Structure 1
């Protein structure tokens, strides 16, 4: 290469684009400030010891002490809170119960949401915006108020029991409130839009000529659904299941308001440790373990999907 070529200015295609770097940097900066930094703080608290002070844990780093103060604080870290989680069966039962309720709730939301999304995708184009608005409409009301409304519906003298008594389905009021059944009802109602929206997006983009071709080849509608429609909607199913399962696992409001004393979920346990027991280090350890339980399977699934896509390519 000649000296002239080396001194030539970069071509427009090779010239660094500040806007491109900014677009990439902003999401990473957002994740760093609003996820990584708070998570590191929670980990730091989980490695501390409970103290009757403000804040209620030690060590608290003394920045005035410089590097020596930071090293002294780190040396006081302990894994005692994590060991306590393995010794007390309450936390294991809370994790297991939360995962069970989240799995069952996700399956119920999928069973209810898939027909709704399918009907929206097959509706006339002019009607779809209205149907989409009806799905989004509950978000205009406070989540807490919507959950409180279910108390008036599900209690013994509530609207549901009055309706069932009036039409003669039951002879005495049912006990629904303060049970796991009420929790499932509240979760399905509250998280249904999170399942319907990604399913609708996947089904609405589907090429309907594939179904017409299947019908021309003699494929029954039900078989065509399982062979064509459902496989093509799997990205929406997976996205909807993640959007429902992850927040439901740590749900606190619904089990606290609609569930009973037998409803054990990790969200209620976290609240009790933070605000009732004032044991921030133990509560932080519970939160860290919960995040690991949720994040690790998601990362493994994403890696599997990336490898599968590379093999298919």
Structure 2
């Protein structure tokens, strides 16, 4: 029996999205469902998970309040710091640089990703440690400067590690900007600052929100940077999860924290998409 065109189209669509759908279901949906089940259970006497149905773990989230406070404070601050540095650089690359040199300069932005994040973070441990910048400051008479194992060190590591992820979506958004709009604004007598706030910034907002959402979401689950540059004194939620699952073996509480983190991540994503839609219409579909 010959298939109808509609049936053929359905089969082709299923063949194209089927493998990805199965992959996402097995490696994302099922693990999250398991975590959700663990979150309403109890800690077994020897550690791990014991079947139960209780919301006591969610009521006990305050036991890891410091991790939540550090994450929900430093992650947005880090994202904003990345934005303040990334936007001028992305604007320069997209608008001011000769197109013949643009590809080379954009490639330099991506170069840090060619090196392991672990190696790059270890280099900052040396620079911020006793033999690094504090030693140089001591030679010029500035003593007792402590940089490592502080929130500032973690923030510096965040900006250094995630800055390229903020630059690239903003650059893509600015590169798509219709230059005729800028020329028309200038012809009508608008000053450059007025053109920027009324044309450039609103039209590049999808890239801005994409970068902010991307960096913030990744920072909410960050583990390596606070572990190495915070020295165990600046805990993020990721550090709390490692402690609860691998050391304390309190799987239900760790699962409750993980579920809460997922809810926060979804909220950040929805808010960023809402803002992009509010100010730039459907243009954010190209980037989000």
For 2:94, the equivalent position in structure 1 comes to: 121
The aligned residue for residue 58 of structure 1 is 50
Preserved contact between residue 45 and residue 57 of structure 1 (Cα < 8 Å): yes
Distance 1:9 1:49 in 2: 53
Residue in 2 that maps onto 1:210 = 181
Task: Name the structure 1 match of 2:143.
Answer: 172
Q: Is 1:258–2:232 an aligned residue pair? A: no
Corresponding residue for 1:152? 126
In structure 2, the gaps of 5 or more residues are 283-288
What is the CA–CA distance in structure 2 between the aligned matches of 1:231 and 1:40, rounded to whole Å?
39
Asked if the contact 2:151–2:230 (Cα under 8 Å) also holds between the matched residues in 1, the reply is yes
Partner of 1:285: 256
Q: Which deviations, in whole Å up to 9, do the C-alpha atoms of 1:247-284 show, x marking residues without a partner?
A: 11121111111115542321221121112211112111
Instruction: Pick the structure with more helix per residue.
Output: 2
1:216 is displaced (CA, Å) by 1.4
Aligned residue for 2:12? 19
Residue 99 of structure 2 aligns to a residue whose secondary structure is coil
Equivalents in 1 of 2:193, 2:41: separation in Å?
A: 58
The one of the two structures with greater contact order (alpha-carbon pairs below 8 A, sep at least 6) is 2
Q: 2:64 corresponds to which residue? A: 91
Cα deviation code 1:218-272 (max 9, x no counterpart): 1111221111111111000010001100111121111111115542321221121
SS of 1:127's equivalent?
A: helix
- The 5 Å alignment of 1:1-313 reads 10=4, 12=5, 14=6, 16-17=8-9, 18-52=11-45, 56-59=48-51, 76-85=52-61, 89-122=62-95, 123-158=97-132, 160-161=133-134, 171-172=142-143, 174-260=145-231, 262-299=233-270, 302=273, 309=281
1:73-128, CA deviations, whole angstroms, 9 ceiling, x for partnerless residues? xxx4333322322xxx3323422331111111110000011111111112111111
Largest Rg, 1 or 2: 1
Alpha-carbon separation, structure 2, partners of 1:195 and 1:305 = 16
What does residue 286 of structure 2 align with? Answer: none
- TM superposition shift of 1:306: 6.5
Q: Number of residue pairs matched?
A: 278
* Cα gap change, 1:119 to 1:164, in 2 (>3 Å): farther
Q: Are the equivalent residues in 2 in contact too, given 1:156–1:173 (CA < 8 A)?
A: no
Paired with 2:43 and 2:74, the residues of 1 have a C-alpha distance of: 31
Contact 1:180 1:260 in 2 (8 A): no
Preserved contact between residue 118 and residue 203 of structure 1 (Cα < 8 Å): yes
For the structure 1 residues 220 and 164, does the alpha-carbon distance in structure 2 shift closer, same or farther, using more than 3 Å as the test? farther
Q: Please, what is the CA RMSD of the aligned residues?
A: 2.6
Contact 1:178/1:259 (<8 A) preserved: yes
Contact kept in structure 2, 1:249 and 1:266, CA below 8 Å:
yes
TM-score norm. by structure 2 comes to 0.86
**Once the 2 structures are TM-superposed, how far is the Cα of residue 297 of structure 1 from its aligned partner?**
4.3
Cα 1:173–1:114 change in 2 (3 A) is farther
Is the CA contact 1:105–1:188 (under 8 Å) kept in the aligned structure 2? yes
1:203 deviates by 0.7
* Separation (CA, whole Å) in 1 of partners of 2:169 and 2:115: 21
Query: 1:135 offset after TM fit, Å?
Result: 1.2
Matches of 1:297 and 1:119, distance apart in 2: 28
